């Protein structure tokens, strides 16, 4: 494994917090992975246009990631990343670019 995990490695990661920096349009998703090489990572979205973060718990309470889908291409040079939580909630981020950073 390299310095940061792949999108599929984020299954079962713990969501710590979601941050939106309105001024520069950067979104940050902070996760604890349980991977010894990089126990905490950040998903960084630059050129952010949309952040939907429901917390309705349709499947019951959970702080763990079930699946990360994307990034997929949208119109106008945007990409979408969906983070499905084990609660059944889906966090949706639309941005120009996504990456995973190990702090």
For the chain, the distance separating the N- and C-terminal CA atoms, rounded to the nearest angstrom, is 16
Query: pTM to 2 decimals?
Result: 0.93
Helices (H) and strands (E) in the chain, counts: 0, 8
What is residue 3's predicted lDDT score, i.e. its pLDDT?
62
* Alpha helix (H) residue ranges in the chain: none
Q: What is the largest CA-CA distance in the chain?
A: 38
pLDDT score of 4: 72
Spell out, as residue ranges, where the chain has pLDDT lower than 70: 1-3
pLDDT recorded at residue 61: 97
């Amino acid at each position: 494994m390299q310095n940061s995990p792949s999108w599929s490695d984020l299954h079962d990661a713990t969501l710590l917090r979601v941050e939106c920096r309105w001024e520069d349009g950067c979104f940050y998703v902070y996760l604890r992975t349980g991977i010894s090489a990089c126990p905490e990572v950040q998903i960084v979205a630059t050129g952010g246009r949309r952040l939907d973060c429901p917390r309705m718990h349709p499947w019951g309470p959970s702080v763990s990631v079930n699946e990360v889908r994307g990034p997929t291409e949208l119109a106008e040079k945007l990409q979408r990343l969906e983070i499905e939580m084990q609660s059944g909630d889906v966090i949706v981020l639309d941005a120009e670019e996504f990456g995973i950073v190990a702090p």
